Structure 1
């Protein structure tokens, strides 16, 4: 998405509480300017600040019924969405235990999106293209991908859960985010396919929580309690990357994720209408069940319950650890998250390592060579049109191979794949459509990467490249290349960042002031906060008259300075004005994650500062320990929790940890504000005596006991397993890492 995506220029609609009642009026109130834009449907009911609601705002009530009602069989994309539909979950509401962050006790409510079955509003509160993407994404239920073999449950979480039938049971791929939703998806499958197929294996395609977090909801009880093990399959370095991306930086990413996925926004035309890749994230119980079977190389094969899997390793694409797989018996290719119906993220707004767009494109080409029949051309070398593919489907020829789908003699001479399916959204059917889809996705990521580098080498910065980058003809109108989830704008900045880092080469940006210090000086230059508000109002007025979205973008910058320069209890006018600008930017956005960020930002600005601070404190948490992770991984998690500023003022602290049931030993050292760990020889009796003579604290305990110490501060275990009475070194480490409360 870039500035040109604002094809319609919507009036600014700021929301300010009416002091005479509980309704909101749409009056933009800035010193020196009043721009009224009262909607035809009247005032908006206030949204409970920072709370989860399952209903749309009363100004735009959710349509009762199913999200399937808006699907039209006359549209090709809609036919693909609904192909193989068996049955839905009705009502599509999944419950969980209520908690402070989810008092409603609802893990998932897809019925809240029933309003999407209606036409996109004409009042400018939603981008029509995003509305269409969300309408299709909201379709939920059990779908047959390959008859009597491969099934998907869609619309019960952000991601899809795939079920592959074997000789005696079912193999589950990517079991959603939460236990509750994964269990509901399995139950829906059993309802329509019978419950005589136990789960015989689970597979994680990559290291993001929406593809592993719900595993405990579908794994057999015997596997969970350790009495019987089934294969849990994952790509190489899976656990390392789960910890790196989802645990080390988990709390920070979680806070960003709330804004990116709009999980706390009300569902409705003026609120959350999806996230481009699905609808939103579920709010239940998430854990990590460690894999026990690791895939390490492309071409590696497994036969599970009679089903043959051929794997392709695709690291550093959409995730640092990721795999695709082909099912030769079923002529089906699972592309994980490398080629879905929308431009994906090279850099994600929730925060993550920048992905390698060039490698991503190369792996897509490799997928075509390994599993498809060429480059998406028909016999005469011309691209097959959507109409031609649709006609083939209607004629029953959609699953036939096309031996002419190849580009040179080094590529396969026969298509091996009739259906391409993924961890999000709907499949692609037919060899020609699949190779076209993959080749265009390959070209999409190649174009963004190479043109960013070309312009970067000509001297443009990331922000400058993002302003001028547009997709070429042949891609710009393709549904799978649209910026519903990733955007051209922020992906270009991510590619620039991967090569050049945060600094754009301008010395003025080398040592910038932090936001509040900078805002105070901007306000001083302009004559105070009221003057900043007046100037912002002038730009908003000019935007309303001329429709140049750059004026609105700059108004947001000015108002952001006004909010930062004001005392939290005395900046209500600035906050409401900025919220109004965020509304307009969000309503016009084609990109769902931009919309969610803007509208969540507006909701926070309208909330009382005390409530905002309270919620922020509630979301401050330490990285979590996974019970089945390795000791090395636990100690790495512990190290990023250390208060280095406090630890740096203290003497060196050393503790030796002996994990008796695993015959492992570790030396944990805290010095100069840093916690480091080193694996050492598992101490024998004579070495234990030497450690005691040196006065070192040694803890000898089992793996499960160490987890209790690190995750729950089980002090009695420390005292019982120490080689001496003085356990202060270990207790102090736990205090400095926030596991134990700090002493006064």
Structure 2
């Protein structure tokens, strides 16, 4: 382990977590897949997966992709199969990685119908209404956009792209271009019929409250949006978000399964084909999510705290290593904490935690017990040398709260959280940790 002087001693490509992330990159390599006679799926064209459904006189796109140029590239591939006009766009939800590429579709047809659920874009509106500007900075950390390429492998469910400034910016319509806002909205469910394509859309909350399920009955294709991808789901985004109701999410996955589809298109990564394969995938996903939810609720009812449950609640043994539930994008421990706070709020039930000491006051008292801040600083250095990066970071926080050895402890903390990142398979967490380490060093170098 590094001790604050030799960051290059750790090669991120040599850790098991890094190797595991590299092993899934084929799932979002660029592919233009003809899924059925009338459905084409664009994987790896930017961050998200999006699709085209062909009718007898027109085409309907399901999601718009993340980056206009990459969506245009997918349209060029589509043109090898049909010259029918793209007449409508259906958003599975309002996240900008699913709406940011929509200008390319609008350039194809300025009169395109754009469909979304009635409360489309509610997450971005809530941030804007409350003036939560920190969400943008935290989003950049989670995405890893400020990191050099050698600190990023992928984002767990998509390639490590670097979009132009503002390309994935959030807004009430999910993107910076007002032309991308829905022109057609529905409440609950609706049937979209245009260009010889008939799609059934229905509200199906999960990763976002404005998530929908899209059903193409003619060829038994269901579009899940971001309620499913080939990773444990992001039940809580560390960039910060409103509570993603996990029970709703579980029930939404079960509604997708109830369609008994022959083909399942995910919001990221490659689709599934074959009724048996689709059902098996959805059964696994449902069982994994329900298990985490039910075990967390049981622990809450037993009086356990979030700190305890985050370490104790895990996937069942037969699902712990399942490739569909690898913690590449979402993280079980963070999900457990989100369920607790989303249902019971911030107070963990322990009376000691009702009005805890200020962190600086706690640090001062602990330092006095330990023999002074020098002792804590020495313990922090020893912890990292012994491979205890988390303990090192916690000790650094205590020493920094006291203003002792500020520069040395800041650099040591940066080394500790880099070490934590290298050993974490959850790409969003890796990105966040590496970015924070970089920001700490930059604050000193400035």
Report the TM-score, using the length of structure 1 for normalisation.
0.55
**1:124 alignment partner, one of 9, 15, 31:** 15
- Report the alpha carbon displacement of residue 131 of structure 1 after superposing the two structures with TM: 2.3
Equivalent of 2:61 in 156, 163, 172: 172
The answer to whether residue 51 in structure 2 is matched with residue 162 in structure 1 is yes
Looking at structure 2, the residues matched to 184 and 522 of structure 1 have their Cα atoms a distance apart, in angstroms, of 59
Instruction: Tell me how far apart the structure 2 counterparts of residues 566 and 183 of structure 1 sit (CA, whole Å).
Output: 53
Match of 2:334 among 490, 514, 529: 490
Q: Are 2:444 and 1:444 aligned?
A: no
- In the alignment, is the contact (CA less than 8 A) between 2:43 and 2:50 conserved in 1? yes
After superposition, the C-alpha distances for 1:430-449 in whole angstroms (9 at most, x for unaligned) are: 10111111112111111111
2:2·2:384 contact (CA, 8 Å) conserved in 1? no
Match of 2:191 among 279, 296, 301: 301
Output the CA distance in 2 between the equivalents of 1:156 and 1:530.
Answer: 52
User: How much does 1:341 deviate?
Assistant: 0.6
Q: Secondary structure at the match of 1:219?
A: helix
Cα separation, partners in 2 of 1:482 and 1:26, compared to 1, 3 Å: closer
Contact 1:325 1:333 in 2 (8 A): yes
Q: Is the 8 A contact 2:203 2:212 kept in 1?
A: yes
Q: Among 178, 190, 212, which residue is 1:323 paired with? A: 212
User: Larger Cα Rg: Structure 1 or Structure 2?
Assistant: 1
Shift in Å, 1:524: 5.5
Question: Structure 2 regions of 5+ residues with no counterpart?
Answer: 168-174
Contact map agreement 2:407 2:444 (CA 8 A) in 1: no
| 3-state SS in 1 of match to 2:227 | coil
* RMSD (Å), alpha carbons: 2.6
2:429 aligned partner:
594
CA distance in 2, matches of 1:600, 1:513: 29
Q: Where does residue 303 of structure 2 map in the other structure?
A: 459
- Does the aligned pair in 2 maintain the 1:14–1:583 contact within 8 Å? no
Mapped pair 1:559 → 2:439: no
2:363 maps to 1:473:
no
What are the within-5 Å matches in structure 2 for residues 592-741 of structure 1?
Answer: 592-609=427-444, 611=446
Moved beyond 6 Å, runs of 4+: none
Change (3 A) 1:428 1:608: same
Are the equivalent residues in 1 in contact too, given 2:232–2:329 (CA < 8 A)? yes
| Alignment-derived partner of residue 42 in structure 2 | 153
User: Structure 1 residue 198 and structure 2 residue 85: aligned?
Assistant: yes
User: Structure 1 residues 241 and 597 mapped into 2: Cα distance closer, same or farther (>3 Å)?
Assistant: closer
**Cα distance in 2, alignment partners of residues 318 and 220 from structure 1:** 29
Change in 2 beyond 3 A, CA 1:517/1:179: farther
Give the Å deviation of 1:328.
Answer: 1.4
Change in 2 beyond 3 A, CA 1:584/1:222: closer
The 1-side partners of 2:128 and 2:162 are apart by 16
Counterpart of 1:274 (choices 154, 157, 168) is 154
Alignment of 1:252 with 2:252, yes or no, is no
Please tell me whether residue 311 in structure 1 is matched to residue 207 in structure 2.
no
Shift of residue 462 of structure 1?
Answer: 1.1
Cα separation, 1, equivalents of 2:431 and 2:296: 26
Contact 1:153–1:189 (Cα < 8 Å) also in 2: no
Structure 1 residues 595 and 241, CA gap change in structure 2 (3 angstroms):
closer
What's the offset of the Cα at 1:593? Answer: 1.4
| Pair 232,248 (structure 1): closer, same or farther in 2 beyond 3 Å | farther
The answer to whether the 8 A contact 1:360-1:442 is kept is: no
Alpha-carbon contact 2:418-2:434 (below 8 Å) kept: yes
Contact 1:313 1:323 in 2 (8 A): yes
Aligned position for 1:238: 120
Measure the CA separation in 2 of the matches of 1:530 and 1:296: 62
The CA distance in 1 between the partners of 2:124 and 2:439, in whole Å, is 30
- The answer on 1:578 being equivalent to 2:413 is yes
Kindly tell me: are residues 530 and 179 of structure 1, through their superposed partners in 2, closer, same or farther at Cα, counting changes over 3 Å? farther
In the TM superposition, what whole-angstrom CA distance separates every residue of 1:705-736 from its partner, at most 9, and x where no partner exists?
xxxxxxxxxxxxxxxxxxxxxxxxxxxxxxxx
Q: What is the rounded CA distance, in whole Å, between the counterparts of 1:528 and 1:214 in structure 2?
A: 56
Does residue 1:537 correspond to 2:381, yes or no?
A: yes
Q: How far apart in 2 are the matches of 1:250 and 1:162?
A: 33
Deviations 1:648-690, CA, capped at 9 Å, x for gaps: xxxxxxxxxxxxxxxxxxxxxxxxxxxxxxxxxxxxxxxxxxx
Given that 1:318 and 1:360 are in contact with CA atoms closer than 8 Å, whether structure 2 keeps it comes out as yes
**TM-fit CA distance, 1:464:** 0.3
Structure 2 contact 421–430 (Cα < 8 Å) conserved: yes
Deviation readout 1:87-122 (Å, 9 max, x if unpaired): xxxxxxxxxxxxxxxxxxxxxxxxxxxxxxxxxx4x
**1:514-539 deviations in Å (ceiling 9; x for gaps):** 55565455556545543321011233
Q: Which has the higher helix share?
A: 2
Q: Which residue of 1 aligns with 2:272?
A: 428
Could you say what secondary structure the match of 1:201 adopts?
A: strand
CA separation of 1:137 and 1:531: change in aligned 2, threshold 3 A: farther
Q: Provide the aligned length of Structure 1 versus Structure 2.
A: 435
The one-character-per-residue Cα deviations of 1:578-627 (angstroms, maximum 9, x if unpaired) are: 1221122111112111211221122122224374xxxxxxxxxxxxxxxx
User: Higher relative CO (CA 8 A, sep ≥ 6), structure 1 or 2?
Assistant: 2
Contact 2:319/2:325 (<8 A) preserved: yes
Task: Say which is worse superposed, 337-346 or 136-145, in terms of deviation.
Answer: 136-145
Q: What CA distance in whole angstroms lies between the structure 2 residues aligned with 1:26 and 1:366?
A: 48
Partner of 2:170: none
Within a 5 Å distance, the mapping from 1:3-402 to structure 2 comes to: 12-14=1-3, 16=5, 25-26=6-7, 38=9, 121=13, 123-124=14-15, 126-133=17-24, 135-147=25-37, 149-190=38-79, 192-193=80-81, 196-220=83-107, 223=110, 229-245=111-127, 248=130, 251-268=133-150, 271-280=151-160, 282-284=162-164, 285=167, 286-287=175-176, 288=178, 289-298=180-189, 300-315=190-205, 317-369=206-258, 371-372=259-260
